[in-house]
């Protein structure tokens, strides 16, 4: 299965912006975060990206994180709109095979027949079933949307000058926890791409713009 041009472009921009965003997010200091900023008490400074022994006042990386976050959310919303179309590879049904009985049966078949290969680092070619890969794609988009939704709430609710309300700290915790899920899925995704390419399945040309 090939992907429509719109999906290919969306994916390239999303991959680029999201990888930069995740790196910036891990490295930045957050204005307003710090020991005093923690209304819940147990939110550590490092976890909240605060400065050692004090509160961060300004951070260009945080500004970049906010701007890039809005771009990523826009790209995700475009992907959601594309999921409502029947463009090749775009439809939402591709991303959630486990929602349908036939998809669940296919997933069980693939896991049953391919598990032994996975344990040895071998992936079956896409022709032998794509439900597992598609499920990972769907979960990546879903977790990215949840990260983005929490990010938008933080954009409006985070106090850059100090103490946070309890609910906004919880949103912050959720944002970080979902980033962990997304990073795990992204690592799986990239590992699968590398293994497929090494086995000569050339899946990259299916998603490359202009490919």
| Site for ligand HEM contains 144 (CB under 6 A) | yes
Question: Using CB under 6 A, which of 92, 189, 195, 209 touches ligand HEM?
Answer: 189
How far apart are alpha carbons 176 and 192 in whole angstroms?
24
DSSP states along 175-195:
HHHHHHHHHHHHHHHHHHHHH
Other CB atoms closer than 10 Å to residue 62's CB: what's the count? 21
| Site for ligand HEM contains 206 (CB under 6 A) | yes
- C-alpha angle with apex 202: 113 to 129, nearest 5 degrees? 25
How far apart are alpha carbons 166 and 163 in whole angstroms?
9
Please choose, out of 29-37, 96-104, 106-114, 199-207, the segment that lies near ligand HEM by the rule CB under 6 A.
199-207
- Provide the minimum distance between the beta carbon of 150 and ligand HEM in the complex, in angstroms, as a whole number: 15
- Radius of gyration, alpha carbons of the chain: 20
- Provide the minimum distance between the beta carbon of 52 and ligand HEM in the complex, in angstroms, as a whole number: 31
| Site for ligand HEM contains 133 (CB under 6 A) | yes
| Site for ligand HEM contains 204 (CB under 6 A) | yes
How far apart are alpha carbons 89 and 163 in whole angstroms?
46
Q: Which residues between 70 and 109 bind ligand HEM (CB under 6 A)?
A: 79, 89
Please choose, out of 98-106, 109-117, 139-147, 150-158, the segment that lies near ligand HEM by the rule CB under 6 A.
139-147
The runs of H, that is alpha helices, within 35-165 are 60-82, 92-95, 101-119, 131-157
| Site for ligand HEM contains 69 (CB under 6 A) | no
| Binding residues for ligand HEM (CB under 6 A) | 3, 7, 11, 14-15, 18-19, 79, 89, 126, 133, 137, 140-141, 144, 186, 189-190, 193, 203-204, 206-207
């Amino acid at each position: 299965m090939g992907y429509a041009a719109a999906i290919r472009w969306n994916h390239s921009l999303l991959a680029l912006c999201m990888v930069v965003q995740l790196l910036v997010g891990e490295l930045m200091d957050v204005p307003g975060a710090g020991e005093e900023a923690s209304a819940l008490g147990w939110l550590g400074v490092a976890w909240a990206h605060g400065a050692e022994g004090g509160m961060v006042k300004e951070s260009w990386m945080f500004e970049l994180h906010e701007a890039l976050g809005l771009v990523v959310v826009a790209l995700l919303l475009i992907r959601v709109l594309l999921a409502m179309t029947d463009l090749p590879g775009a439809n939402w049904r591709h991303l959630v095979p486990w929602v349908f009985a036939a998809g669940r049966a296919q997933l069980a078949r693939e896991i049953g027949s391919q598990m032994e290969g996975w344990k040895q680092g071998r992936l079956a070619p896409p022709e032998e079933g794509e439900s597992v890969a598609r499920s990972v794609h769907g979960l990546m988009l879903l977790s990215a949307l949840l990260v983005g939704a929490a990010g938008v709430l933080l954009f409006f609710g985070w106090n850059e000058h100090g103490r946070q309300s309890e609910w906004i700290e919880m949103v912050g915790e959720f944002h970080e926890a979902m980033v962990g899920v997304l990073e795990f899925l992204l690592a799986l995704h990239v590992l699968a791409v590398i293994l497929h390419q090494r086995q000569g399945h050339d899946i990259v040309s299916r998603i490359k713009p202009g490919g």
